[in-house]
C-alpha cells in the first residue's frame, strides 16, 4: 500500500474541502471585526472613553468575534459520537449543511424579523447563533476531514496527504482574505463596509459550502469505520478501489486484529498518557497565539496606523506566507518526521512573538512588526499547523480514535476560544497598554512556544512511516 492512485487523490481532495471551509469560516471574521464592532457593539455604549465601558465593549467584541468557537467546542465534543455512530462521511455531510446555514444566516441576522440593515445591535444574538452553528460544522470538519484522509491513505504518504487538509485550511483563509479585500475595495468606504460590506463577506461562504455538500455524496465511507460496524464486505469493496488485492487483504487482517484486541474501547483503555498527549498537542497549537494573527491581523495592522484597505492587503501577505510554508510542511513531513518540524517551528514562533512584543513595547511599528508576523506565520505553517493534525490522526488506535480525537479537538477549540476572547482584553487593557504598549500578550504566546518545543522533545513519540495499526503497539503497555 505504498503507491497512490487517482481515486485516493480524488477522495483526499474532496475531504480537504472540509478543511477549506474550516479556514474560510474561521478567517472570514478577520475582515469584519471593525464592522461588527460598529454595527453591534458601539451603539450599546455611550462613552467608550470611560475605562469601565471600554473594557465591557472590548469583552463583548471578543465574545462576538470568538462566538463561532463555542460551536467549534460543541462540534469537537460531539465529533467522537458522530464519527463512531453516524460515520465519517455522513458526519462531514452534517458539517457541510451547518456551514451553509451559517453563511446565509450570519449575512442577514435580522431576517425575517426586520428589514436587512435595520436590525442593529438588537440582533447580535441572532448573529452569534448562526456563527455558533457554523462553528459546530467547523468543529466536526476539523476532526472528521483529517480522520477520513488518514483512514484511506497509504502509510508512507499519510503525513503528506493529511497535511493537504491543513493546506486546504490555509487556502480557505487566503481565499477569504482576497474576498474580503475585494469586497472592501468595491464599496464606498468604511461606512458602506460597516453597514453592507461585511454581510457579503459572510454570504460568500455559501458557495464552497454548497460545493462540498454536493461532492460528499460521491465518496464512500472509510474501510475502518465499515469494519468497526461489522461490514467487512463493504470495507473490502472500498479497499479494492484504493489498493491492490494483496494490500487490501493485509489491511483487512490488521484492522480486524486491532478491533478484536483485549482493549475495551473506553477512552483511557490505552492509558492516560496517550489522551494527555493528544490534548496537549491541541492546546499548545492554540496557546502559541496563531488565531490572534488569523482573526485580528487586520486590526493589528490598522493599529499600526495603516488604512483599512492596506491592512486587508497586508493580511493577504500573511495568508500567502502561511500557504507557502504549509506546502513546505507537506513536502517534508514524511521525510524529516513530525517531531523535528514541531520543535523547530515552536522555537521560531517563540522568537518571533517575543520580538513582536518588544517591537510594540519600544514603539517601533511598521516593517519590523510585519516581518515578525511573517516569520511567526512561517514557523506555524511548517509545523504546528499541519503537523499537529497529522499527529492527532495517527497516534490513536482504531478502537478509541473517534473518542480520543473528539476530546483532543474539543480541547483545541476551548484553547482557541480562550486565546481569541482574551486577546482584545489583554491588548486594550489600559494598565497593560500604559506599561507594555500592546506587547504583553505576544510575550505570553512566545513563552508558550518554548513550552511547546519542550513538550515535543520530551513526551511525544515519532509516528513517521508506521501504519495506524502499528501505532497501537506503542501504547499497548500503557493501558495494562
Q: How many domains does the chain have?
A: 1
Q: pLDDT tens digits for 180-209?
A: 889 988 877 788 888 888 999 999 999 999
Is residue 480 assigned to a domain? no
Q: Are 77 and 135 in contact (CB under 8 A)?
A: no
Q: What is the pLDDT of residue 479?
A: 42
Q: Are 157 and 467 in contact (CB under 8 A)?
A: no
Q: Is the pTM of this model over 0.95?
A: no
Q: What is the pLDDT of residue 1?
A: 40
444 or 478, which is more confident: 444
Is residue 229 assigned to a domain? no
Q: Are 383 and 344 in contact (CB under 8 A)?
A: yes
Q: What is the pLDDT of residue 218?
A: 92
Residue where the block lists cell 506546502: 327
Q: Where does the pLDDT of residue 46 fall: very low under 50, low under 70, confident under 90, or very high at 90 and above?
A: low
d(CA 1, CA 246): 9
12 pLDDT above the threshold of 90: yes
Q: What is the pLDDT of residue 303?
A: 64
What Cα–Cα distance (Å) separates residue 241 from each residue in 6, 216, 287? Answer: 10, 17, 41
d(CA 24, CA 184): 17
Is residue 254 assigned to a domain? no
462 pLDDT above the threshold of 90: no
* Percent of the chain residues past pLDDT 70, beyond the cut: 89
Q: What is the pLDDT of residue 114?
A: 62
Is residue 248 assigned to a domain? no
Q: Where does the pLDDT of residue 270 fall: very low under 50, low under 70, confident under 90, or very high at 90 and above?
A: confident
Look at phi and psi of residue 5 and say left if phi exceeds 0, alpha if psi is from -120 to 50, else beta: beta
What Cα–Cα distance (Å) separates residue 171 from each residue in 18, 27, 165, 263? Answer: 12, 11, 10, 39
Is residue 125 assigned to a domain? yes
Is residue 112 assigned to a domain? yes
Q: Look up the domain containing 435 and give its range.
A: 6-219+261-475
- For the ranges 162-171, 262-271, 424-433, the lowest mean pLDDT is seen at 262-271
As a whole number of Å, the end-to-end CA separation of the chain is 31
Residue 272 is part of a domain; what is its CATH number?
Answer: 1.20.1250.20
445 pLDDT above the threshold of 90: yes
The secondary structure of residue 37, as a DSSP letter, is I
Residue where the block lists cell 455538500: 213
Is residue 233 assigned to a domain? no
Radius of gyration of the chain (CA): 22
Q: Where does the pLDDT of residue 49 fall: very low under 50, low under 70, confident under 90, or very high at 90 and above?
A: low
Q: What is the pLDDT of residue 333?
A: 82
User: Who's near 246: CB < 8 A, 6+ residues apart?
Assistant: none
Is residue 145 assigned to a domain? yes
- For the ranges 54-63, 412-421, 442-451, the lowest mean pLDDT is seen at 54-63
480 pLDDT above the threshold of 50: no
Q: What is the pLDDT of residue 438?
A: 75
Amino acid at each position: 500500500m505504498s503507491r497512490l492512485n487517482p481515486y485516493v487523490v480524488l477522495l483526499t481532495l474532496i475531504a480537504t474541502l472540509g478543511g477549506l471551509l474550516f479556514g474560510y469560516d474561521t478567517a472570514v471574521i478577520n475582515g469584519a471585526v471593525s464592522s461588527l464592532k460598529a454595527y453591534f457593539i458601539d451603539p450599546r455604549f455611550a462613552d467608550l472613553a470611560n475605562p469601565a465601558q471600554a473594557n465591557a465593549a472590548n469583552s463583548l467584541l471578543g465574545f462576538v468575534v470568538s462566538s463561532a468557537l463555542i460551536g467549534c467546542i460543541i462540534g469537537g465534543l460531539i465529533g467522537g459520537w458522530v464519527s463512531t455512530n453516524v460515520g465519517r462521511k455522513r458526519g462531514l455531510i452534517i458539517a457541510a449543511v451547518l456551514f451553509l446555514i451559517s453563511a446565509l444566516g450570519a449575512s442577514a441576522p435580522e431576517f425575517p424579523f426586520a428589514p436587512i440593515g435595520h436590525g442593529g445591535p438588537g440582533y447580535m444574538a441572532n448573529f452569534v447563533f448562526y456563527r455558533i452553528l457554523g462553528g459546530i460544522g467547523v468543529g466536526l470538519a476539523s476532526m472528521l476531514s483529517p480522520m477520513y484522509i488518514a483512514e484511506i491513505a497509504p502509510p508512507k504518504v499519510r503525513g503528506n496527504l493529511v497535511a493537504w487538509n491543513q493546506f486546504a485550511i490555509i487556502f480557505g483563509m487566503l481565499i477569504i482574505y482576497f474576498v474580503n479585500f475585494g469586497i472592501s475595495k468595491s464599496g464606498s468606504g468604511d461606512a458602506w463596509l460597516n453597514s453592507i460590506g461585511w454581510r457579503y463577506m459572510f454570504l460568500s461562504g455559501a458557495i464552497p459550502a454548497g460545493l462540498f455538500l454536493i461532492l460528499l455524496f460521491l465518496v464512500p465511507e472509510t474501510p475502518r469505520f465499515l469494519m468497526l460496524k461489522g461490514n467487512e464486505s463493504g470495507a473490502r469493496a472500498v479497499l479494492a478501489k484504493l489498493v491492490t488485492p494483496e494490500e487490501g487483504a493485509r489491511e483487512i487482517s490488521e484492522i480486524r486484529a486491532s478491533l478484536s484486541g483485549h482493549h475495551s474501547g473506553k477512552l483511557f483503555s490505552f492509558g492516560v498518557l496517550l489522551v494527555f498527549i493528544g490534548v496537549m498537542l491541541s492546546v499548545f497549537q492554540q496557546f502559541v497565539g496563531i488565531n490572534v494573527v488569523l482573526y485580528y491581523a487586520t486590526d493589528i495592522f490598522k493599529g499600526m496606523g495603516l488604512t483599512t484597505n492596506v491592512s486587508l492587503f497586508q493580511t493577504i501577505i500573511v495568508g500567502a506566507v502561511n500557504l507557502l510554508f504549509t506546502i513546505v510542511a507537506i513536502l517534508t513531513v514524511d521525510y524529516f518526521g513530525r517531531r523535528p518540524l514541531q520543535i523547530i517551528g515552536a522555537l521560531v514562533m517563540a522568537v518571533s512573538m517575543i520580538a513582536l512584543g518588544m517591537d510594540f513595547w519600544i514603539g517601533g511599528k511598521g516593517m519590523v512588526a510585519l516581518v515578525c508576523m511573517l516569520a511567526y506565520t512561517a514557523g506555524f505553517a511548517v509545523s504546528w499547523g499541519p503537523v499537529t493534525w497529522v499527529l492527532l490522526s495517527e497516534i490513536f488506535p482504531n478502537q478509541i480514535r473517534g473518542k480520543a480525537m473528539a476530546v483532543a479537538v474539543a480541547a483545541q477549540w476551548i484553547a482557541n476560544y480562550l486565546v481569541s476572547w482574551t486577546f482584545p482584553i489583554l491588548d486594550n487593557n489600559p494598565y497593560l497598554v500604559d506599561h507594555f504598549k500592546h506587547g504583553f500578550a505576544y510575550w505570553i504566546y512566545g513563552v508558550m512556544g518554548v513550552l511547546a518545543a519542550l513538550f515535543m522533545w520530551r513526551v511525544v513519540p515519532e509516528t513517521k512511516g508506521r501504519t495506524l495499526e502499528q501505532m497501537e503497539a506503542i501504547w499497548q503497555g500503557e493501558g495494562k
